[in-house]
Chains A and B, each alone.
Chain A
Amino acid sequence: MLTRRDLFRLAAAGTLAAALPPALLAGDPPAPVVPPRPASRARAVIQVWLWGGPSHLDTFDPKPGAGRDFCGPLGKPIATSVDGLLIGQSLPLLAQQMHRCAVLRGMTHGSNGHETAAYLMQAARPAGDGLSWPGLGAVVSKLRGYEAGYRGLLPPYITLTTPQGRFSESGFLGGRHRPFATGGDPAAEAFAVDGMTVQGLSDTRQSSRRQLLADLDGFAAAHPADATVRELRACREQAYELILGDAGAAYDLGREDAALRDRYGRHRLGQSCLLARRLVEAGVPYVTINANGWDTHKRHFEAMGRMLPQLDAAVATLLEDLAQRGLLDSTIVWVGGEFGRTPRILWEPPWEGGRGHHGKAFSHLLAGGGVRGGTVVGATDERGENVVTRPVFPWDLFATLTGMLGLAPDTQLPLPQGGSVALLGPPPAGRSGGVLTEIL
């Protein structure tokens, strides 16, 4: 239950935690408690959310020495554009982008439930503290959206193509900061954005419908001063600007070069990455790509044979494309899921080469927005089961990302029951390795 007392309790816990040294493994330098605030370069975030949790061993934290029971058929990692850095053999295109990337191999939170882990990774708060915290996208929508001077007709927080579903992305910030989910399939011949187009409806008919509506909305005419009626009419006029005006062109992938579309990959993930670039170009500050299908308990390697090449082409082309257009410096690309997958492979039926949930150790990838490329943060043991140096907790990642976006940690977020709470609490005792100064 939400109460004002929770705030006192949270504040008290914060005071306590701030007095303690951050939990660090021996030998690591102490991290600052308050994230540094360099002149932020990041204006936008493209979050490639790999729903279900991809295997860290098969992607960014290969363990060739662990043998077939851990690597399966993917036991030969490949060299990258960074000396000494190896990644999974199924990602040759991404390998050539590693000089632009920071690989977070120390990700950990220990939760193996999809919903709790997804909440932890995106809201960076433990579940059950009495508040339902917003994810980073909703925070950006709140602090960089319409209430903060954003004037774009495109919504400030867009999800390609479906919402996350497992938890409310906007938390206590409420429905206004939920993402706009486009629906449709960007890889389809005719990509229809929910609420932007109706198939077979010509512009002429749209216009005549608009006139008909104006003529038949006598109720609005009879209540010109009513606040609700005025607001409904104002929203309708703005919607028409978006539907009939130029802003909607950002969704039109037909305006892209066919060869570039091929490089991204003619699949949902590839074309979503291309669309995300177009949206960021048009000024949208936060785009989430919900890439489903990574919860591979059964026949994992068959799925990887299909999915990793798609991920490889989509993200590698996105990084190259953003860089060529001069957008990478101002756009954070964040790739990862709610956890990793169990390093030891389950060969027996019914799994037949499956991997379970693994919240103790996994990897995320960051690039752009000022991230120092070619860096690796943290390391796991020889089997990828536990983090052995430089753990990266959800708080650390969230603090780093908000810092890169120039959002002050003490920015107040309003609570529905009144009062407000700081965007970023102090690092939770025992659950923080500090801000990722290594990549800034």
Chain B
Amino acid sequence: MDSSTRHLGTVVILLAFCLAVGLGAAETEKNPARCDDATFLRRLHLDASGCLPPYQALKGFLADRRPDRRERAIDALLASPAYADWWAWRWSDLLRVKAEFPSNLWPLGAVATHRWLRQSAALPYDRFVTALVTANGSGFSDGVVGFYRAIPERTPGYYADAVALVFLAQRSDAAPAPAFAACFAGLAFKPTGAWKEEILWWNPALIPAGTPAPAAPDGTPLAVAAGADPRPALAAWLTGPGRQDLARALANRTWAWLNGRGLVEPVDDLRPGNPPSDPALLDQLAATLIDSGWDHRALLRAILRSATWQAEAGNSGYAIRRLSAEVLLDALSSATGSADRWTSQIPEPFTVIPALPAVALPDGSISNTFLETFGRPGRSSALAAERSDAPSVLQAQRLLTSEQVQQKIVRSGWLKRLAGESTDPADELWLRILCRPPTAAERARCAVALAGGERRAALDDLAWALLNTTEFSTAH
């Protein structure tokens, strides 16, 4: 812990921000020690973009003495393309964006949906939800249609279940109310001449006789002309009278994305019998989202500025947790400076997949063994429990002794450059891999390792060891 980073001015300003955004008394009372600057920046980038901080940005940040440098870093990240990738990644899990099975978006539809999610990262959340709920058109050219097309069971009841689960984090114990399901009674897909392309449209002729008048999930009647598409009215209800539930669901998910656990757990089971651990905080976060004009970045900003999220890791502070599959693989790639390879079985012949970071992959059918081993969700359902961040022996094996990790080290350009220099490499090794400067003891151990033999081999061993530390593979 670098005590100089705990500048009094910073603390005062952070507390002021914290109070201003209304993160309550319960939060500040605990008054946990804040993490140091290096830890903060690494945590910020991992939690809100899924990537390690770029090396140059990290060095710049550690040299920055301005009292508001943390707020500046938060704002810069939330305005960057990395945030859009992160938002699209989180929502691709929820919308089950996958070319094949059990969702069948097909590669074109998966890419279109992912592109829409990415481009919509700046859209206010009420308009984001409205666009998804009222979607019509071809799943290949209008990515927003992917939400409905990814639902394998094409019945009004399942559409209603999906809307309730994805947007309100509500699960149904019984069949959805027939009046709520009636909002989707005319939804139909029709094929086009193009392979696997389908157009989603509203067909009043499909509505069975005796279908009740459409209503919101809570039973509020929706004023819709007979046979007309009730989904715009449903969206208006979700973002109007139903907005508390809508905002609380996203606030809880966002809290979980940034802290490892929701205020309500499971994050997708919001109901009266399952209260939040801190009801006032969840209400405040929901109010922050609504009052900002549904700017989800305002919600993130409030959490990222809070004393809770900036607390030191461990004990009752910030929860230490294994990095998610995609995030860990991207961290290995960016720390070493080598891209990864992907495969997809679909369609045949196999498509060429660009060298994207795992977090930016547009399609759940594109994968590799690493992602599967580290618990990437199969996107079979929209449930958060599908993702597993639990450690396993196979994962440890893959990090300790696999060609994949070894090749990343061997091919690393900066390790090669360091091998040709004669300066102390400890600073760069630690900054690039662990995103912090080494301690005196670590610097000494590094020197011992280098004295032992050939420099490149020693550098490879050091990089390998740092990549295998629990510090590297966790958010903390």
Within the complex, which residue of B162, B377, B470 is in contact with A232, where a contact is CB–CB below 8 Å? B470
Question: Does B174 sit within 8 A of A, measured CB to CB?
Answer: yes
Is the Cβ of A232 less than 8 Å from the Cβ of B391? Answer: yes
**Contact mask for chain B residues 459-476; partner A; CB cutoff 8 A; 1 contact, 0 none:** 001101110111101101
Is the Cβ of B469 less than 8 Å from the Cβ of A216? Answer: yes
Within the complex, which residue of A163, A165, A416 is in contact with B385, where a contact is CB–CB below 8 Å? A416
CA distance A122 to B313 in the complex (A): 44
**Contact mask for chain A residues 1-18; partner B; CB cutoff 8 A; 1 contact, 0 none:** 111110010000000000
CA distance A295 to B347 in the complex (A): 13
A-chain residues with CB within 8 Å of residue B476 when the two chains form the complex: 219
List the B residue with the shortest CB-CB distance to A237.
B396
A95 → chain B closest CB, angstroms:
33
Is the Cβ of A218 less than 8 Å from the Cβ of B396? Answer: no
**Contact mask for chain B residues 370-406; partner A; CB cutoff 8 A; 1 contact, 0 none:** 0011011110111101101011111111101111101
CA distance A219 to B436 in the complex (A): 12
A224 → chain B closest CB, angstroms:
10
List the B residue with the shortest CB-CB distance to A130.
B153
Most buried by A among B369, B445, B462, B466: B369
**Contact mask for chain B residues 165-197; partner A; CB cutoff 8 A; 1 contact, 0 none:** 100000111110000000000000000000000
In the complex with contacts A3-B161, A155-B394, A216-B380 CB distance below 8 A: no
Comparing A204-212, A316-324, A391-399, the segment that makes contact with chain B is A204-212
CA distance A432 to B397 in the complex (A): 43
CA distance A215 to B461 in the complex (A): 12
B-chain residues with CB within 8 Å of residue A223 when the two chains form the complex: 313-314, 320, 470
Is the Cβ of A199 less than 8 Å from the Cβ of B171? Answer: no
CA distance A163 to B365 in the complex (A): 12
Is the Cβ of B101 less than 8 Å from the Cβ of A115? Answer: yes
B378 → chain A closest CB, angstroms:
4
Question: Does A172 sit within 8 A of B, measured CB to CB?
Answer: yes
B-chain residues with CB within 8 Å of residue A239 when the two chains form the complex: 393-394, 396-397, 400
Most buried by B among A3, A199, A222, A295: A3
A-chain residues with CB within 8 Å of residue B151 when the two chains form the complex: 1
List the B residue with the shortest CB-CB distance to A209.
B461
Within the complex, which residue of B152, B390, B439 is in contact with A127, where a contact is CB–CB below 8 Å? B152
A52 → chain B closest CB, angstroms:
10
List the A residue with the shortest CB-CB distance to B439.
A218
**Contact mask for chain A residues 72-105; partner B; CB cutoff 8 A; 1 contact, 0 none:** 0000000000000000000000000000000000
B-chain residues with CB within 8 Å of residue A240 when the two chains form the complex: 400
B-chain residues with CB within 8 Å of residue A243 when the two chains form the complex: 397, 400-401
Is the Cβ of A4 less than 8 Å from the Cβ of B322? Answer: no
In the complex with contacts A206-B401, A215-B445, A2-B383 CB distance below 8 A: yes
List the A residue with the shortest CB-CB distance to B476.
A219
Within the complex, which residue of B101, B320, B372 is in contact with A175, where a contact is CB–CB below 8 Å? B372
A-chain residues with CB within 8 Å of residue B344 when the two chains form the complex: 165
B353 → chain A closest CB, angstroms:
14
Within the complex, which residue of A4, A180, A206, A219 is in contact with B171, where a contact is CB–CB below 8 Å? A4
Question: Does B346 sit within 8 A of A, measured CB to CB?
Answer: yes
Give residues in A with beta carbon < 8 Å to B: 1-5, 8, 115-116, 119, 127-130, 132, 153, 155, 163, 165-168, 170-172, 174-176, 178, 180-181, 183, 192, 194-199, 201, 205-206, 208-209, 212-213, 215-220, 222-223, 226, 228-229, 231-233, 235-236, 238-240, 242-243, 295, 416-417
Q: List 26 A-B contacts (CB under 8 A).
A: A1-B382, A3-B172, A4-B171, A4-B174, A5-B173, A127-B101, A127-B152, A128-B152, A155-B394, A165-B367, A166-B345, A174-B375, A175-B372, A183-B369, A205-B461, A206-B401, A212-B445, A213-B464, A217-B468, A217-B471, A231-B390, A233-B470, A238-B393, A238-B396, A239-B397, A416-B386
